[in-house]
Amino acid sequence: MGNSLSKLRLRAWGILVLIATMLVVSGCGAETKTPPAGATLTPSAPAAKKALRVGYLNVMDDAQAMLAKDAGLYDKHGLDVELQLFESGTDLIKAIVGGQLQAGVLGFTNAATWAQKGADIKVVGGAQMGYHSILVKKGSGIKTVADLKGKKLASQQKGSTADIVLNGVVLPQAGLKRDDVNMVYVSPAVAVQSLAAGQVDAAFVFEPYEQIAKASSEVEAIYEIGKVWPFPCMVVITSGKMLKEDRAAIDALLGAQQEAITMLQKQPDEAARLLTKRFIQEETLTGPGGQVAAQAVIKKAIESQMFHWEITTDEVKRMQEVVEIMVAQQILPESVKVESFLDLTWQQKQGAAH
């Protein structure tokens, strides 16, 4: 009997040793194979980035769209973004409606115009609060907006965001009507040149044209609408179809641009270093005070802006005010509710995350 028990114990012990040996060799059940000598290990391919075509305008208002590209933030968020430059917001939004673009950064007034027509347009995020300043020559005697009565004022084309707020907010606040001012409709660059040449008395421009004008000629700002009547000027727009098909890609786009806005706010030097060549090819600008580094000009333009990725409840109300101004100016045949073309799902997720 004792011999039998000893044999059983030895047999059990042998089985346990065999099991333990198998576990060590197999790595707890996962089979491992040693590659043959001289074999080359091939790393797994990285996940493919999602391709997106994004429209933009070459203005400081769209800085976050450009900076997200130049700083590699789209890549970081898993996107392969092709930025497409447009000369006007109207052409840009037509490309979104037509399906040639998946998204774009452009004026809220363009979104309102197309949404009122029934287009499949969605505003999904904020970008920049309105910045438009009135420049005059130093020593001109023009100190306030009211002093522009009977003067020549250069501004963007009729129906543009600049024109809408000029005639709906700026002039009425000064007790003036459109007919009280002689309007000259030109591009911002031409407006600055016309002011420097004395062909107009004032120019209503956005950045970086104000800083370029100040660096290259004797001009000063007498008004800036962002300080008096801030409004969501630039927004991120996509289509409802795109949101249904690939909301994750639009969320990634918004995340990349949010990071770009943070860089613009907290690292203006680095942002200016990356963005300067998009606006000024020369290393320096020469003006009354001598030479000024182009990068310093763009840094000032960045710091003058209020980049803002959120759209608050108060800003939605201000957007609705802009819509009613557009109706009053007969740009829109009738009103449209801003909430009908807003989709702030991504923004709401950020609020929950925080």
Residue 276 falls inside a structural domain: no
Do 97 and 242 lie in one domain? The reply is yes
Range 251-270 average pLDDT = 98
Do 75 and 192 lie in one domain? The reply is no
pLDDT in tens, 134-156: 999 999 999 999 999 999 999 99
d(CA 79, CA 76): 7
Do 247 and 331 lie in one domain? The reply is yes
pLDDT in tens, 176-202: 999 999 999 999 999 999 999 999 999
**pLDDT of amino acid 46:** 61
Range 226-252 average pLDDT = 96
β-sheet bridge partners, residue 348: none
Do 125 and 239 lie in one domain? The reply is yes
pLDDT over 90 (residue 157)? no
> Which residue reads 């070459």 in tokens?
58
Do 343 and 240 lie in one domain? The reply is yes
Do 340 and 263 lie in one domain? The reply is yes
Instruction: Dig out the tokens for 209 from the structure.
Output: 């044209």
pLDDT over 70 (residue 65)? yes
Instruction: Dig out the tokens for 213 from the structure.
Output: 């004008």
Q: pLDDT band for position 25 (50/70/90)?
A: very low
Are 204 and 133 in contact by the 8 Å Cβ rule? The answer is: yes
3-state SS record for 245-312:
HHHHHHHHHHHHHHHHHHHHHHCHHHHHHHHHHHHCCCCEEEECCEEEEHHHHHHHHHHHCCECCCCC
Q: What value does the mean pLDDT of the chain take? A: 88
Residue partners of 183: CB distance under 8 A and separation at least 6: 153, 155
pLDDT in tens, 73-99: 999 999 999 999 999 889 999 999 999
Range 282-307 average pLDDT = 94
Do 256 and 180 lie in one domain? The reply is no
Please list the helix, strand and coil fractions of the chain in percent, rounded to the nearest 5, in that order. 50, 20, 30
Nearest to 107 by CA among 86, 128, 134: 128
**pLDDT of amino acid 44:** 55
**pLDDT of amino acid 352:** 55
Do 122 and 242 lie in one domain? The reply is yes
> Which residue reads 């009122």 in tokens?
116
Instruction: Dig out the tokens for 321 from the structure.
Output: 């005010």
pLDDT over 60 (residue 17)? no
The whole domain housing 142 covers 133-228
Do 101 and 202 lie in one domain? The reply is no
Amino acid at 137: K
Do 236 and 347 lie in one domain? The reply is yes
d(CA 85, CA 83): 7
**pLDDT of amino acid 354:** 44
Do 104 and 208 lie in one domain? The reply is no
Residue 59 falls inside a structural domain: yes
DSSP secondary structure, 324-345, as one string: HHHHHTTSSSS---GGGGB--H
Do 320 and 183 lie in one domain? The reply is no
Residue 67 falls inside a structural domain: yes
CATH at 203: 3.40.190.10
**93-97, 159-163, 248-252, 320-324: segment of lowest average pLDDT:** 159-163
DSSP secondary structure, 84-118, as one string: EEES-HHHHHHHHHTTS-SEEEEEHHHHHHHHHTT
Residue 103 falls inside a structural domain: yes
Amino acid at 145: V
d(CA 127, CA 110): 14
Overall number of domains in the chain: 2
pLDDT over 70 (residue 33)? no
Indicate the residue among 228, 255, 288 that finishes a domain.
Answer: 228
Range 9-14 average pLDDT = 43
